[in-house]
A and B are shown apart, each in its own frame.
Chain A
């Protein structure tokens, strides 16, 4: 790699060196380390969420089972949903984005490295707080959607719902801070020549998701704050007997909750838009369409929330509008599918594990998408809502889709992140086992759902006729667990003994493959110059660029050329490299916020103790912020002379 070679000997290692051992992780501001922390912690939460699912499947394996009590079962499905969405899928995507986005756009770090560290700590503490609830009276047992008025104190007397509110609150702040960071990083820190229309599609999708996030999350935050006030401070937002409105909660929740679906799926669409071209040895088909249909999906995603509420009875006009808007989303999504197929068409396919997962994504996502389109029709929806059919649909989209997409990304980028290759043979075993057991688990749910099996029931009678489907689902889920153990084994062994990864193991087209594996702490010794959508293929195969053209519209090419021209005049001098110092400040601020959160939970019941805890939390926060301001001043580029 030309760029990687230029690295050697030209740059003195930055004097702000990484602290050794645990201190290095606790005080890091490096986007790559933070990305790995996201991935590891999210995977741990993901496994816990998986165990919760397994417990539920064991309970449902045979009729009239008594393995779990009804209350524990309720806690399990609540925690399973909350964990998978907030602590599993979202942060897995954020972790890949954190690691890859700066590398893909030719930046040395995120725009706000300390804010980035704050995000990871708030996410971890938010997740831990949610799980503390198990030890202080019971986890939340009201479903991940927490419908009112079930969440009110008289129906949910334990602190579980309060921990849910605060835990989601902390991860929400982390997500908004992270999204702001992605927006500024992607819009403002692109390497010279990387116009928006030359950005890798994974970066495009992360940008769209960041915008969805900052507009969707505050609505959930307001809803949960109002719920907290209802539970502790005497308000009546969601108390129907006092004039409150339980349906308002549903509106607030799903105004967030539906865009959330796209927050989960769009990054994985970005992943496979990187993986498919690489392993088809062809540029993506219809780059602009894939990018802008992502924008369309993000926008339409805000107009369909009430399709989760057809059973409420909002009236025919509202149902017709939200049904039609939901159908509309199928258009950009459907064309994307054809874009991916056309990318593979006549390509020379390399069926690596990553590629298999990308193809698995397309096929399973299509099934989930089709059941989704039918569910968007109000009359059909009313028949199937709250049945296992919906469980099947949602898992085809979020497991068959999002999880498989994330695995495509992990097998694709693991060599870049660790410097070791994952074992491909084990990976392919894992893929096939997962594909078969996934379908064995979730396909029968279409059938049990259509035969009337409702969601969220802890057991059923033998005469209902659902025995076979449930037994198959349970067997499938146990096999799924084996597939995940295979992956865990693969990671643990490959990270020590896997073959050494070269800088560019897949012959990739994007900038992350131009630096060593794992990348140096400063990412790029020289800021790369970008002249097309596939900067690395340009460099490796200059003749292809001339044969095929740049696949840009004339106007875009002109803009790019202007940019190239201007930048081309600048001398390629070695720039000094400026990296953020490690600091504990974000960790300290997060600890303060967490203690504040504990105080808020108990403020209504133990006023004085809770208030003093809040005070302590605020003081810790203030200390952290002071040291944050100091280090940011010392780190400021202007202080270097």
Chain B
């Protein structure tokens, strides 16, 4: 804490930016742009290999392995978590700490449920004979969905860290922005799942 900044009036807080957007928010948007290319590449790889997989002797048919019912539930869970995330942010902006805690922990819970569901799915597929090395489908499917699952896990850790930070410093005016940028990332990860769900499971 610098001595000179002790005199800083509340209004002149250094959050004036050239574009009028918060620095961290702009940073997370740019990061999401970068992540889009990351997942686009993984999804492209999946599609490049889908017809090759079909033509091979060790062909494994995605339709035989993938359980649409289970993943529909998982997709609903993740979409619901986006809703609770929005509600958590709105509660945080209102300064309603009780509902903020409720909705944020609900988001975390839904995220954990999704991860649990994916672990169950992977385990099930493994016992059915689908592995990283069993076919091109296994290779591309597990790497794509696995990295998405990793992103969800990182999102859960991020949300928890926001939760603990807000609990430790409940009066910090940065709290709403902390929640908002974690939410941006969370919605992005959800959106990626929508893409994966449609492109890999439904089509």
Shortest B33–chain A CB gap in Å is 6
Contact with B133, one of A194, A218, A236, A635 (Cβ below 8 angstroms):
A236
Contact A637 B172 (CB under 8 A): no
Query: Are A214 and B4 in contact, CB atoms less than 8 angstroms apart?
Result: no
Please tell me if the beta carbons of B34 and A217 are within 8 angstroms of each other in the complex.
yes
Q: A15 contacts which of B3, B49, B133, B172 (Cβ < 8 Å)? A: B3
User: Which of B17, B18, B31 gathers the greatest number of chain A CB atoms within 10 Å?
Assistant: B18
Q: How far is the CA of A237 from the CA of B161 in the complex (A)?
A: 36
Inter-chain contact A236/B34, CB cutoff 8 Å: no
Most buried by B among A12, A234, A243: A243
Known: A236-B139, A243-B49, A243-B56. A636 touches B172 (CB 8 A): yes
**Chain A residues in 8 Å Cβ range of B147:** 225
Check: B41 CB closer than 8 A to any chain A CB.
Answer: yes
**Are B14 and A578 in contact, with the CB atoms below 8 A?**
yes
Of A31-39, A180-188, A340-348, the one with at least 4 CB within 8 A of chain B: A180-188
Which residues of chain A (80-131) have a CB below 8 Å from chain B?
111-112
Given contact pairs A576-B8, A641-B8, A188 touches B48 in the complex (Cβ within 8 A): no
Q: CB within 8 A of A243: which of B4, B53, B169?
A: B53
Q: Is the CB of B174 within 8 A of A111?
A: no
- Expressed in whole angstroms, the Cα–Cα distance for A223 and B48 within the complex equals 14
Q: A229-B143, A245-B48, A578-B2 are in contact. Are A235 and B133 (CB under 8 A)?
A: yes
Cβ of A568 within 8 Å of any chain B Cβ, yes or no, is no
Q: Are A189 and B34 in contact (CB under 8 A)?
A: no
Check if B143 sits within 8 Å of A226, measured CB to CB: yes
User: If A14-B2, A188-B17, A222-B45 touch, does A638 touch B53 (CB 8 Å cutoff)?
Assistant: no
Q: How far is the CB of A66 from chain B (nearest CB, A)?
A: 42
Interface size range of chain A in the complex = 35 or more
Q: Which of B4, B24, B26 has the most CB of A within 10 A?
A: B4
Number of B residues, CB within 8 Å of A = 50
Nearest CB of chain A from residue B174's CB, rounded to whole Å = 6
Q: Does B203 contact A (CB under 8 A)?
A: no
In-complex Cβ contact of A180 among B10, B30, B143 (8 A): B30
Across the interface, do B26 and A641 meet the contact criterion of CB distance under 8 Å? no
Contact pattern, B 13-33, Cβ under 8 Å of A = 1, otherwise 0? 111011101011011001101
- B131 close to A (CB within 8 Å): yes
Contact mask for chain A residues 189-228; partner B; CB cutoff 8 A; 1 contact, 0 none: 1100010000000000000000000111111011101100
User: B residues within 8 A CB of A221?
Assistant: 38
- Say yes or no for A555: interface residue by CB 8 A criterion: no
A16 interface contact, C-beta 8 A: yes
- For window 136-174 of B, CB contacts with A under 8 Å fall at 136, 139-140, 143, 147, 161, 165, 169, 172-174
Instruction: With A222-B42, A245-B52 given, name 5 new contacts (CB 8 A).
Output: A14-B4, A180-B31, A218-B37, A243-B53, A245-B48
Chain B interface residues (CB < 8 Å from chain A)? 1-8, 10, 12-15, 17-19, 21, 23-24, 26-27, 30-31, 33-35, 37-38, 41-42, 45, 48-49, 52-53, 56, 131-133, 136, 139-140, 143, 147, 161, 165, 169, 172-174
30 pairs from A and B in contact (CB 8 Å cutoff): A11-B4, A14-B2, A14-B4, A15-B4, A176-B34, A183-B27, A183-B30, A188-B21, A188-B26, A214-B33, A222-B41, A223-B41, A229-B143, A234-B131, A234-B132, A234-B133, A235-B133, A236-B133, A236-B136, A576-B2, A576-B5, A629-B161, A629-B165, A635-B1, A637-B13, A638-B174, A639-B172, A640-B1, A641-B6, A641-B8
Residues of A within 8 A of B (CB): 11-12, 14-16, 111-112, 176, 179-181, 183-184, 187-190, 194, 214-219, 221-223, 225-226, 229, 233-237, 242-245, 248, 252, 575-579, 625, 629, 633-641
